[in-house]
Amino acid sequence: MRSIGHFIGGREVKGTSGRTGDVFEPMTGDVQAKVALASKAEVRAAVENAKAAQPEWAATNPQRRARVMMKFLELVQRDYDKLAELLAREHGKTIPDAKGDIQRGLEVVEFAIGIPHLMKGEYTEGAGPGIDIYSLRQPLGVVAGITPFNFPAMIPMWKFAPAIACGNAFILKPSERDPGVPMRLAELMIEAGLPPGILNVVNGDKEAVDAILDDPDIKAVGFVGSSPIAQYIYERAAATGKRCQCFGGAKNHAIVMPDADMDQAVDALIGAGYGSAGERCMAVSVAVPVGKATADRLMEKLIPRVESLKIGTSIDPSADYGPLVTREAVERVKNYVEIGIKEGATLAVDGRAFKMQGYEDGFYMGGCLFDNVTKDMRIYKEEIFGPVLSVVRAHDYNEALALPSEHDYGNGVAIFTRDGDAARDFATKVNVGMVGINVPIPVPIAYYTFGGWKKSGFGDLNQHGPDSIRFYTKTKTVTSRWPSGVKEGAEFSIPTMK
């Protein structure tokens, strides 16, 4: 059985805490590895290593830092298939989905390669008599990322690529459920030429998280996970003076207007609702058809599609989706289905009894579809994070617009329509951070920012895009005046550019 330690100082090191966690293979239910769970002392060792290495890296010119990113990009592409299989076997998502996970991370690496341009400041000559003013972007020092199980390649790269490109050293605390890919990415960064100590990986649980939040040498923390933990991390990090960006849960709606291309809308709902077994923060978990006729047509098409979903192993190329990440995750989702039934929703498709032939101990669950869900139900209010789609029928457009706008979560939303006026009005008015128009999962491309509103996001700056450069740097503004031609004598009034 594999043993997974930590990655500190450019190499893998064994854990010393004496505590370990199980890493399962979701498609079989077997334990495939033991991962070390870091103590506070181990986190501190990683921070000290990073702190010692960071000044020289910050002094390395941006173009050379970009070259490391370019080489890393090349190495990940070289090992693409191996990384995808490792990811699929630890997480449970299918190989094609795992490749998409890696690719979306690499797109942020590609963005970070532009760091020589992105780090440029501003300059004003002659702002006053003999006075020039310019601004600099400088790295923060040591920063950290706490990343979730559902995107073990993408979100770590979203965090460490811009941070390291800016000249920071990075402490990554990935999910202990699927740590293999983050560890391998760290190895590839060293192979790409990154100095030891600039990227350290500490595996662990709450003890490691709290050690990161309380460490005085860590200047910023990024997090993706559930909303209660996002709020906890945000508040604790802010209390110690750290910058913090935390992204939480979601309840993403898809509004289906009467004029929508129904086949397109159904395809979108099936893929976005059930892909990766629904274990995505951008999964569509609520469909909102407008009007009874639209709802009836939608259900008529959705039911057979959900019933015919092909659930398979992570390595089955024909599977629509694979197992969930743990047995506890399956039980949690099944419990929500039971809650929905008790609350009075109509369970149109029940996938709870699904068993994978030959893999009966794996963490599988068939697709579930609810109709007649109302906004007072727990299955509407809370994030289920599984292969469950709820249909909430809206009488008219205004009711459909109000549902995502008034929900506690505000991560993503989509509208399906042929009406440009309706789409424009919806995009302008809906109280949600990311909007798709005939696009079911509106994850922006890497040079825009990603982030939700309300309980889906805590902090002022988003992930990747220009916000990531702002988050991982501090701005220094310099006002300079040279003696030549300067009037002598003390000035007691406040300086102005009069």
pLDDT in tens, the chain (498 residues): 899 999 999 999 999 999 999 999 999 999 999 999 999 999 999 999 999 999 999 999 999 999 999 999 999 999 999 999 999 999 999 999 999 999 999 999 999 999 999 999 999 998 888 889 999 999 999 999 999 999 999 999 999 999 999 999 999 999 999 999 999 999 999 999 999 999 999 999 999 999 999 999 999 999 999 999 999 999 999 999 999 999 999 999 999 999 999 999 999 999 999 999 999 999 999 999 999 999 999 999 999 999 999 999 999 999 999 999 999 999 999 999 999 999 999 999 999 999 999 999 999 999 999 999 999 999 999 999 999 999 999 999 999 999 999 999 999 999 999 999 999 999 999 999 999 999 999 999 999 999 999 999 999 889 999 999 999 999 999 999 887 655 667 777 777 766
Name residue 223's amino acid. F
What pLDDT shows up at residue 487?
A: 63
What pLDDT shows up at residue 468?
A: 96
- 460 — phi, psi (to 5°)? -90, -20
What pLDDT shows up at residue 413?
A: 97
CA distance 315 to 93: 9
CA distance 91 to 99: 13
Domain ranges of the chain: 2-248+456-478, 252-437
The domain covering 2-248+456-478 belongs, at the CATH homologous superfamily level, to Aldehyde Dehydrogenase; Chain A, domain 1 (3.40.605.10)
Total-model pTM: 0.94
What pLDDT shows up at residue 128?
A: 84
CA atoms within 13 A on the CB side of 409: 27
145 neighbors 497 (Cβ within 8 angstroms): no
The strand order across the sheet containing 243-247 reads 11-13, 6-8, 199-201, 169-173, 142-146, 218-224, 243-247, 457-458
Packing angle, helices 180-191 and 62-78, rounded to 10: 130
Query: If phi over 0 gives left and psi between -120 and 50 gives alpha, with beta otherwise, what is residue 130?
Result: left
Q: Single out the catalytic residue among 166, 244, 246, 281.
A: 281
Nearest 5 degrees, angle CA 216-CA 218-CA 222?
A: 135
What pLDDT shows up at residue 497?
A: 63
Name residue 481's amino acid. R
Q: How far apart are the first and last CA of the chain?
A: 73
What pLDDT shows up at residue 129?
A: 84
Tokens of 29: 């239910």
147 neighbors 202 (Cβ within 8 angstroms): no
CATH number of 252-437: 3.40.309.10
What pLDDT shows up at residue 485?
A: 57
Beta-carbon count within 10 A of 9 CB:
18
CA distance 254 to 248: 19
CA distance 92 to 472: 32
What pLDDT shows up at residue 142?
A: 98
State yes or no: is 244 an active-site residue.
no
